[in-house]
Amino acid sequence: MSTPSATSPRRPSALARLKRANADMVVKLMVIAGVMFGFGYAMVPLYQHICAALGINVLSLSEKKVPGMASKVKANTQLDTSRTIVVEFDANARGPWDFKPEKRSVTVHPGEMVTVMYEFRNMQGRTMSAQAIPSYAPKQATAHFNKLECFCFNEYTLSPGERKAWPVVFVVDPKLPRDVTTITLSYTFFEVGGKVPPAPESRT
């Protein structure tokens, strides 16, 4: 029976082979993690370039110009500076409370994002829950008046004498017919639990 020569290489033990396989696996996982991180980091500028190339105008919640938000709003590439629209604000209070807009009208360009505050005060000696119903005039403006934020989306509970101020953030669609130069946004504020009043008649 022959014995192995002194110069023949020794085969690595099973433990050494296992350590080498583990080391190789760690290296592969690190490479995969690095590639995934790089891909995720590149997604934001890549997405922006795609949107710019396709002419997509994305309006996210973080881009809304609402009170208390410090983030800057990017320029709206769909802004139509060739004409202006007068937006009037109306408030119908169906009950013993004070409800009014902070201003009666604003002049805007189609595509311009605008914020207007509405003020409310519960004049009663009891807690109440209330909600608002919006309506528009003329009727053909309804489809082109886009509210990005509105207190009319929610129901509110107010204590006796409590005051609130709520924003309405809106954009007038540039596709609004050119013969429409004035839009009236009207709110009917009513107490929840009672009979819901009909919205005011829209002027044609």
pLDDT of residue 201 exceeding 60, the answer is no
| Confidence (pLDDT) at 114 | 95
Q: Binning pLDDT at 50, 70 and 90, where does residue 12 land?
A: low
Residues 88 and 181 in one domain: yes
Indicate whether 99 belongs to any domain.
yes
Check if the beta carbon of residue 166 is closer than 8 Å to that of residue 100.
Answer: no
pLDDT in tens, 111-170: 999 999 999 888 888 888 888 889 999 999 999 999 999 988 788 888 999 999 999 999
Kindly state the average pLDDT of the residues 1-10.
Answer: 52
Under DSSP, is residue 90 helix (H, G, I), strand (E, B) or coil?
strand
Kindly state the average pLDDT of the residues 167-176.
Answer: 94
Indicate whether 81 belongs to any domain.
yes
Mind giving me the DSSP string for 117-164? EEEEEE-SSS-EEEEEEEEEESGGGGGGEEEEE-GGGS-EEE-TT-EE
Q: What is the largest CA-CA distance in the chain?
A: 112
Check if the beta carbon of residue 123 is closer than 8 Å to that of residue 86.
Answer: no
In the Cβ-directed half-sphere of 44, how many Cα atoms lie within 13 Å? Answer: 3
CATH code of 184's domain: 2.60.370.10
Residues 136 and 42 in one domain: no
Number of domain units in the chain: 2
Range of the domain at 27: 13-56
pLDDT in tens, 43-87: 545 544 554 454 444 333 333 444 433 344 444 548 999 999 999
Indicate whether 4 belongs to any domain.
no
Residues 148 and 115 in one domain: yes
Indicate whether 86 belongs to any domain.
yes
Indicate whether 39 belongs to any domain.
yes
Which of the residue ranges 88-92, 130-134, 176-180 has the most confident prediction, judged by mean pLDDT? 176-180
Residues 87 and 155 in one domain: yes
Residues 115 and 187 in one domain: yes
Kindly state the average pLDDT of the residues 14-24.
Answer: 79
The region of weakest confidence among 74-78, 134-138, 188-192, 197-201 is 197-201
| Confidence (pLDDT) at 97 | 79
Kindly state the average pLDDT of the residues 34-47.
Answer: 55
Q: Binning pLDDT at 50, 70 and 90, where does residue 191 land?
A: confident
Check if the beta carbon of residue 97 is closer than 8 Å to that of residue 122.
Answer: yes
Residues 179 and 96 in one domain: yes
Kindly state the average pLDDT of the residues 33-51.
Answer: 55
